[in-house]
Amino acid sequence: MTTFLILCAVMIVAALVLVLVPLLRRDPATMPGQPERPRSVPAAVAVMVTLPLAASALYGLVSNWPWEGTAAALAGAGHGEDGGSMDEATAALAERLRKNPADLEGWRMLGRSYLMTGRPAEAIEAYERASSIAGAKDLGIELDLAEAVVLAGDAGRMPRAKSILDGALEADASNQKALWYAGLLALRADDVETAKARWGRLLEANPPEEIRRILVNQLQQLGVEVPGEAPPAMVAAAPAGAGPVGGMGGMGGGGGGGAVAAEPAGRTVRVAVSVAPDLLTKLKPGTAVFVSAREAGIPGPPLAAVRLSTDELPTTVILSDANSMVEGRNLSAVDEVQVVARVAFGGTAVPASGDLLGEARHSKGAAADVAIVIDKVAP
């Protein structure tokens, strides 16, 4: 936000220069005997005062940013910029909305903040409030609500999420957000054909490269041959010291041979993965285990990931820049990463209710070793 305001100020100054220079410049006479044109000082002063005020007023009129109160609530959202944190900013915004519950954009922003900090259940409540204020007529808010429901795995609200997504696709069959989450919802309901159709349509829409790679991996995992794409490599993570650890290709394949090795490079995190004793009875032989790292608090595709199986636990795997999923986007690009180990009973890279989870955080420059105990069951 600070960068945006500085940019606005620079643009206003540039506009003032363009207008004031001609007004303050003395133009020589164009014909003999004709006096030179004097500087228009009063007009210049008037422009200098009114232009910034008019620009600010116009932006305030057309902008949908909730400046009143919300900006203050989010002032500390920068990573340490003012000594605050995302959690503190979210709490401040929630407190402000308690006093001003009719702020639609505030509730929507609170929902997004909850999603970014991994709290989809609370995001649902925030989006429900926004939806109620908008009379369920704002498609953007409805899709945000459906997203939160799918990510939270809220079975009671899943029919509503499906209704929202189906309605969005009836209105616009190429709505990318609706296609993505409709595919997820179908896959969780074991409706593989619908998942293929939704994600195939989304792939045809030329999404951003990082989304495209996720779609290709998922479609190939569902048995779809994607034109121009090689079959996914089958990758397994090896114990530390037993050779290089497999790369991102394992997100799209099953367990088993033909491993493709990736030498660790750049920032490296050694992850010791184990399972809490009370969850050992839930493990099934050969079940896929995904170990991934993403920027802390930021949803989206992981920065690095490997795949192994429950047969190899406990073990230590290595995540590094060599496991990057998106070119130019790797562990070295961020300061803090959230590392998650997940036992995926469905065998896919899509988190599902009932999966077993464990997580830890790693900061750039810290010791490379982190330990994760898989000790939670996904709701």
Strand, coil or helix: 113: helix
286: left (phi over 0), alpha (psi -120 to 50) or beta: left
> For residue 16, what pLDDT band results from cuts at 50, 70 and 90?
low
Spell out where 229-267 has E strands.
Answer: 245-246, 261-262
Judged against a pLDDT cut of 60, whether residue 29 lies above it is answered with no
Q: Are 165 and 149 in contact (CB under 8 A)?
A: no
- In this structure, what CATH number is given to the domain that contains residue 326? 2.60.40.1120
Confirm whether 234 is domain-assigned: no
**Rounded average pLDDT over 255-264:** 44
Round to whole Å and give the CA distance between 89 and 83.
Answer: 11
The answer, yes or no, to whether the previous bond of 264 is cis (omega within 30 of 0) is no
Q: CB-based contacts of 287: which residues, under 8 Å, 6+ apart?
A: 309, 310, 343, 344, 345, 347
Domain co-membership, 280 together with 373: yes
Closest Cα to residue 356, out of 341, 371, 372, 338? Answer: 341
Encoded tokens for 369:
């070793």
- The domain boundary, picked from 166, 190, 222, lies at 222
Q: Highest mean pLDDT range out of 45-49, 169-173, 286-290, 352-356? A: 169-173
Q: Which domain holds residue 174?
A: 91-222
Q: Highest mean pLDDT range out of 18-32, 205-219, 303-317? A: 303-317
Strand order in the sheet with 268-275: 315-320, 268-275, 369-374
Domain co-membership, 99 together with 164: yes
How many structural domains compose the chain?
Answer: 2
Which run of H or of E encompasses 357? strand 356-363
- The domain boundary, picked from 222, 251, 278, lies at 222
Dump pLDDT digits (tens) for 236-259.
Answer: 333 333 333 333 333 333 333 333
Judged against a pLDDT cut of 90, whether residue 129 lies above it is answered with yes
Confirm whether 231 is domain-assigned: no
Round to whole Å and give the CA distance between 367 and 352.
Answer: 31
Confirm whether 103 is domain-assigned: yes
Dump pLDDT digits (tens) for 175-218.
Answer: 988 998 888 888 777 788 998 899 889 888 887 665 677 777 77
